[in-house]
Amino acid sequence: MSPLSFDGRTAIITGAGRGLGREYALLLASRGANVVVNDAGVDLEGRGNSAEPAESVVETITSAGGSAVANFDDVREAGTGKVLVEQALDGFGRLDIVINNAGVSCPRPFSEQSADDLTATVEVNLYGAAQVTQAAWPHLANAGHGRLVNTTSGTLFGAPGQSYYVMAKGGLFGFTKTLALEGADLGIKANCIAPAGWTRMAIGAAADDLLTPEMWEFAEAAMPPAVNAAVVAYLAHEGCAVSGETLSCSGGRLARLVLSETEGVEVSADLTPEEVADRLGAITDLAVLHQFTSAAEMLGHTQQKLINRTR
């Protein structure tokens, strides 16, 4: 297979000054992309600001002969999406790719989470991705091959001490599936990565005893941030063959993360709580799993089951 090129393409990457986002920016730029490197330079919980992270990445890219500009706006602020799009168009004349990577984490037990924790986590991880995407959407459609890559997380399986973070990442999972459906006729493909990299955010979570010493040692050795960049680059390329999917990259494994429904049981309109209790084993049996591309497909499946039952 020939190398995947991004020559002439322009990408906005949020949270690209450090960690995973930095690796995404460096890889896409090395393959010819023009990159708008967005990073407000906040700390792990969304406080403070610094121009240095974004400027450093741009300097690295341009010193190597690549093309990039820095942006220091906070994705949670209204209007940041519009500014990023204008910067891409003014600097490079087009917009083809949006990678929503910016994120913060406030790892604490749920009982200790504050209203400020909720606001910061949801505004950066979820609202920020939504408002940047909305500003970019018509331009991705105009490109005819627009690509959107959102960032969900393996914490969807449950992560004590990360309740608000998981809530936001779960929202992005469903958001991306819906955008994939809406973008299908526009040439836009939307996917997620559920990355795992030994970044300052991961280290910050580990420092709060959310990882055992054995898991810490494994993560440090097996989760270099740069591995995720290859996955994002594929999802961002016009040759990407999937939409509405989530690829999970963790500890030397690359897999598909799916939402599915069990076969379940047939019930009547006079269902009782006792019947639910009695039949719980059959309801939750994982022997047969169904995966749907949309809520409409799931409803159609249910409708067909009802039709078959009443024949």
Residues belonging to the active site: 165
Closest to 194 (Cα-Cα) out of 110, 117, 97, 101: 101
Residue 85's Cβ-side half-sphere holds a number of Cα atoms within 13 Å equal to 15
d(CA 101, CA 95): 17
Residue 84 · residue 135 · CB < 8 Å: yes
Q: How many CB atoms lie within 10 A of CB 48?
A: 9
The rounded distance, in Å, linking the Cα atoms of 73 and 50 is: 10
As to burial, measured by CB atoms within 10 angstroms (0-12 exposed, 13-18 middle, 19+ buried), residue 145 is middle
Task: Quote the longest CA-to-CA distance of the chain.
Answer: 71
Q: Treating both helix axes as pointing N-terminal to C-terminal, what angle do 19-30 and 226-236 enclose, rounded to 10 degrees? A: 60
Q: At what angle do helices 80-92 and 128-143 cross, to 10 degrees?
A: 30
Distance in angstroms (rounded) separating the CA atoms of residues 306 and 311 = 9
**CB 223: neighbour CB atoms within 10 A?**
19
Contact, 16 vs 28, CB < 8 A?
no
**Residues with Cβ within 8 Å of residue 72, at least 6 apart in sequence:** 38, 39, 40, 41, 49, 51, 54
